[in-house]
Structure 1
Amino acid sequence: MSRDTNSMSWGLLVLAGLIWGGMFPVAKVVLHSVDAVTTTAIRYGIGSLMLLAILVAVEGRAALATEGRTRRLFTYGTVGFAGFNILAYIGLAHSRAEHAAVIMALQPMIAVLMNWLRSGQRPAGFTLASVAVAFLGVFLVVTNGHPERAWQDGAAVGDLLLLAAALCWVTYTLGASDFPRWSPLRYTAVSGALGTVSILAIMALSALSGAIHLPALATLAGLGWEFAYLVVLGAVVAVLSWNSGIKAVGPVNGVLFINLVPVVAFLVGVAQGHAFGRAEVLGALLVVGALIANNLYGRRKVPMPAVRREAALCEEV
């Protein structure tokens, strides 16, 4: 790999981390005016079409074929795109953008535990210790060192929904192992399109039942830049940048850039005038430190069966 190509690959990973780190504060703004289900439907109603168009341009029309596995792709797409995004946005509406970013950064650690359940192979002691430290960090962030206050104003409910969303995305990502011959772009685009069908159905049923009220066009127009960020940058540019960077530098190196997500979210919070308690800052540092430490430890463990799947956890957040 040439120096220019290597630099471009690192740059793509940095770009993806920066975009995803800023995505939660942007989504928080949207959720003040538009409900979580409608926000998800708009994001993927447009984003999935863009990804399908890119897939056809890169791999041809034949890549749209499900090869007789439509049901499985539909299930993974529903869990990954409908489940993850609707739960994440509902949780974000009752939590803070910084909490969401830290919880999402926990996904590689969640994958370690899920792979343990799937394979029955116990992770190394150092890895389990890193998982415990990361979860402790999340606990400190979401409680700000005061567990007794966690349930006030529904904050803990929001954070639990964010954790459930992370579980959905880990499940979806691990599902990619069922399609070993497919590129990440193809798996994301095809399953995402099928998952969007579920999103639109959920939105229709929610609107008909009165659970949500569709926003006025003027409201959506006033959030044009925010939706452009969520759709074009978050759902398309960041996805393609992450996939390209991971392919070039490898998952072990690339996964380190997921640490940018909580860092950027906290920096945006500071810029917006948010005050963070010591426990929140310490918790975020513990999560980032645990991720880095386990990554460095993993470089000494070859082979690592779950490395590639864990590294792809944030293909699309």
Structure 2
Amino acid sequence: MTKPQTTEKRGISAGILDQPYLLLVLAPLFWGGNVVAAKLVVGEISPFLLLACRCVLATLFILPFAYKHLRNDWAEVKRSWPVLMTFGIIGYALFNILLYIGLTMTTAVNSAIEQASLPMLILGANFLFFRVRANLLQIFGVLLAIFGVILTATHGDPLRLLRMDVNLGDGFVILACLAYTAYTLALRFRPKVHMLTFMAVSFSGAALTSVLMQLVFGGGIAEFATLAHASPTVWLVIAYVATLPSMFSQIAYARGVELVGPNRAAPSHNLIPVFGTLGSVLILGETLEGYHFLAATIIIIGIVLAEWAARRKV
């Protein structure tokens, strides 16, 4: 009787970490929820304060789990800590502050759809900077997806781009996507340390940067005191963004890649705008306009063409 119970307990504790496709759905679900959560507290907490709370709490949360790996990797950490921290500054702090500022001026639906361009921006940047070979069909897919983003940012009227009449919030979200593209490209130069070591040191860089941003651009240290009177929604959002999109999504995606490989895991990123859009409609009550459907269709076609062309090439 004891043996089956032991097996069952082990299955309960290790079951999720052995389910790659569940992990590869949970990761984009939590990442997509980041947009919805941040939009939910616009007007209640400033983007800089939200970022500072997220980065500081995420760092404190991950340090106990990373301690053993930090000790093992300490020699490499001492040698390459500026590089490791820069990953956090660009990939976590800069990306999220641009996204959070953008959400104060545009809808979460727009933001989610614009983030659908990330795989295509990364593919295009790899071609431009690292001469990663791409055929004409891949290039066409990238351009098509980017046009879909332009359609979203101009609210269905691309000619507004010529008149420089683009919503500033959408511009910030697109800048956030470019920051994350730079972060992703730089990952090929990531120092050889354990994933939790990488996360702990890079999160520390993001935490220091976010606090500095709060001091320079936000309301300073005194603004942290306003959290004592914050609504339960604000606290729930802070708890959410500091844990699920920051830590658990990273671990879930890394484990999914470990189980099925990067090529089969990569398409899961396309679920981020899907979950972001669904959450924006169901939780925030935002409305889907005709141009959203058209833009999403164009972006999806671009992604499918580029993925198909890449697989044919392999």
**TM-score normalised to the size of structure 1?**
0.83
- CA change 1:93–1:232 in 2 (3 A) is same
* Matching residue of 2:136: 125
SS of residue paired to 1:123? coil
> What letter corresponds to residue 287 of structure 1 in structure 2?
I
**Candidates 233, 242, 250, aligned match of 1:231:** 242
Aligned pair count reads 296
* Matching residue of 1:134: 145
Q: State whether residues 23 and 234 of structure 1, in contact with CA within 8 Å, keep that contact through their aligned partners in structure 2.
A: yes
Structure 2 Cα separation of the partners of residues 232 and 150 of structure 1 = 37
* Matching residue of 2:181: 170
Rg larger in 1 or in 2?
Answer: 2
Q: Deviations over 1:118-144 (max 9, x none)?
A: 224552211111101111111222223
Give 1:207 deviation, angstroms. 4.5
- CA change 1:298–1:187 in 2 (3 A) is farther
SS of residue paired to 2:285? coil
- 1:89 paired with 2:95, answer no
Structure 2 Cα separation of the partners of residues 28 and 18 of structure 1 = 16
> What letter corresponds to residue 296 of structure 2 in structure 1?
A
* Matching residue of 2:82: 71
Q: State whether residues 76 and 172 of structure 1, in contact with CA within 8 Å, keep that contact through their aligned partners in structure 2.
A: yes
Q: Deviations over 1:227-261 (max 9, x none)?
A: 22211211111111111112211122112112212
- 1:297 paired with 2:291, answer no
- CA change 1:120–1:60 in 2 (3 A) is closer
Unpaired segments of 5 or more residues in structure 2? Answer: 1-14
Q: State whether residues 84 and 190 of structure 2, in contact with CA within 8 Å, keep that contact through their aligned partners in structure 1.
A: no
Q: State whether residues 55 and 63 of structure 1, in contact with CA within 8 Å, keep that contact through their aligned partners in structure 2.
A: no
Q: State whether residues 138 and 307 of structure 2, in contact with CA within 8 Å, keep that contact through their aligned partners in structure 1.
A: no
Give 1:213 deviation, angstroms. 4.8
SS of residue paired to 2:77? coil
- CA change 1:22–1:207 in 2 (3 A) is closer
Structure 2 Cα separation of the partners of residues 99 and 142 of structure 1 = 7
> What letter corresponds to residue 175 of structure 2 in structure 1?
A
* Matching residue of 2:299: 287
SS of residue paired to 1:69? helix
**TM-score normalised to the size of structure 2?**
0.84
Q: State whether residues 176 and 187 of structure 1, in contact with CA within 8 Å, keep that contact through their aligned partners in structure 2.
A: no
- 1:259 paired with 2:280, answer no
- CA change 1:293–1:60 in 2 (3 A) is same
> What letter corresponds to residue 92 of structure 2 in structure 1?
F
- 1:62 paired with 2:72, answer yes
Structure 2 Cα separation of the partners of residues 63 and 151 of structure 1 = 51
Structure 2 Cα separation of the partners of residues 286 and 99 of structure 1 = 14
Give 1:147 deviation, angstroms. 4.0
| Mapping 1:1-317, distance limit 5 Å | 8-57=19-68, 59=69, 61-64=71-74, 65-121=76-132, 123-147=134-158, 156-179=167-190, 181-207=192-218, 213-214=223-224, 215-219=226-230, 221-271=232-282, 272-302=284-314
Q: State whether residues 256 and 291 of structure 1, in contact with CA within 8 Å, keep that contact through their aligned partners in structure 2.
A: no
Q: State whether residues 252 and 295 of structure 1, in contact with CA within 8 Å, keep that contact through their aligned partners in structure 2.
A: no
> What letter corresponds to residue 143 of structure 2 in structure 1?
A
Q: How much is the aligned-residue C-alpha RMSD, in angstroms? A: 2.8
Give 1:30 deviation, angstroms. 2.0
Q: Deviations over 1:145-191 (max 9, x none)?
A: 13466899x96211111111111112122222222533444323322
- CA change 1:273–1:22 in 2 (3 A) is same
- CA change 1:148–1:267 in 2 (3 A) is same
Structure 2 Cα separation of the partners of residues 248 and 24 of structure 1 = 28
Q: State whether residues 47 and 235 of structure 1, in contact with CA within 8 Å, keep that contact through their aligned partners in structure 2.
A: yes
* Matching residue of 2:6: none
Q: State whether residues 28 and 271 of structure 2, in contact with CA within 8 Å, keep that contact through their aligned partners in structure 1.
A: yes
Give 1:85 deviation, angstroms. 1.2
